[in-house]
Amino acid sequence: MSTENCPHPEENQHSEEVTETSKASPHPLTPEPEQAQDEQGPVEPTENLTPEEKLKDAEAQIAELKDQYLRKAAEFENFRKRMNREKQEAIDFANQSLLLDLIPIIDDFERAIKAADASQKGAADFTVFYEGISMIEKRLSSQLENKWGLKRYDSTGESFDPNRHEAIMMEKSPDITEPVVKEDFIKGYLLKDRIVRSAKVKVLMPEQPGSGREPGRADPNEDAEAGENPS
């Protein structure tokens, strides 16, 4: 009997095992429907809730949102109050450094006044007192200019500039052709090249040329000549 066309019993057994295994276990990359549902998590069947349960659920969500809103509103109110307090403190203490620089100069003035009260009246004592006051004034001006940018400017002899000068007195002079500052009554100040106080000055004004005719009025003789000889 020939065995060429007869399958080997071991091969038949092996093929049957492979077939049963493939039927028993699906492809490893394809998840089962139940497993995929478990990975997504349980889904609450909201459509199965009764109207009372839906109302309770909505009320719970509203209460939670209201609580979050009240918390955020309280946090914002606290933030607003803190910002206003810090802003007011910044305004109140903005000039603290400047005032601390002025305190030693005030101390110098107090010492000078006490020395003047304790000293006897005399020319020598007055000279010392004058020199002390002058030294304090120079120290104050120098500190304000070098550290804070507050500079005092002189105007005497300058051309009158309405942006820098405020004329409180005027005087006519035949020796000038344009307004000139004759005297400083109160000096002006610049803060970092910006005028913060104009100087109050006395101004020399040029005299009007001619025969004393008032400005803005025409000579009647000129009007008559113009009428007789029309061009």
DSSP 151-207: EEE--TTSBP-TTTEEEEEEEEETT-SS-EEEEEEE-EEEETTEEEEPEEEEEEEEP
Q: Based on the domain organization, do 135 and 168 belong to the same domain?
A: no
Asked if residue 162 and residue 133 are part of one domain, the reply reads no
Q: Indicate whether 57 belongs to any domain.
A: no
Per-residue pLDDT of the chain (231 residues; tens, 9 = 90+): 444 444 454 444 444 544 444 444 444 444 454 444 444 444 455 567 788 888 989 999 999 999 999 999 999 999 999 999 999 888 878 887 887 888 888 888 877 777 776 665 555 677 777 888 888 888 888 888 888 888 989 999 999 999 999 999 999 988 889 999 999 898 899 988 889 899 999 999 998 754 334 443 444 444 444 444 443
When divided into structural domains, the chain yields a total of 2
Determine, yes or no, domain membership for 230: no
Q: Write the CATH number for 164.
A: 2.30.22.10
In a domain, 71, yes or no: no
Per DSSP, 159 falls in state B
Q: Cα separation of 150 and 156, whole Å? A: 19
Residue 103 phi, psi dihedral angles, 5° rounding: -60, -45
Here the tokens at position 5 are 């066309």
E-state strands within 9-108: none
- 156 in the same domain as 142: no
Domain that holds residue 182: 151-206
Is there a domain that residue 181 lies in? Answer: yes
Residue 156 lies in a domain: yes
Contacts of 101 (CB under 8 A, 6+ apart): 143, 147, 148
- Beta carbons of 70 and 97 less than 8 angstroms apart: no
Same domain, 143 and 110: yes
Residues 6+ apart with CB under 8 A from 198: 163, 164, 165, 166, 188
Residue 68 in any domain: the answer is no
The model's pTM: 0.48
Q: What are phi and psi of 92, to 5 degrees?
A: -65, -35
179 in any annotated domain: yes
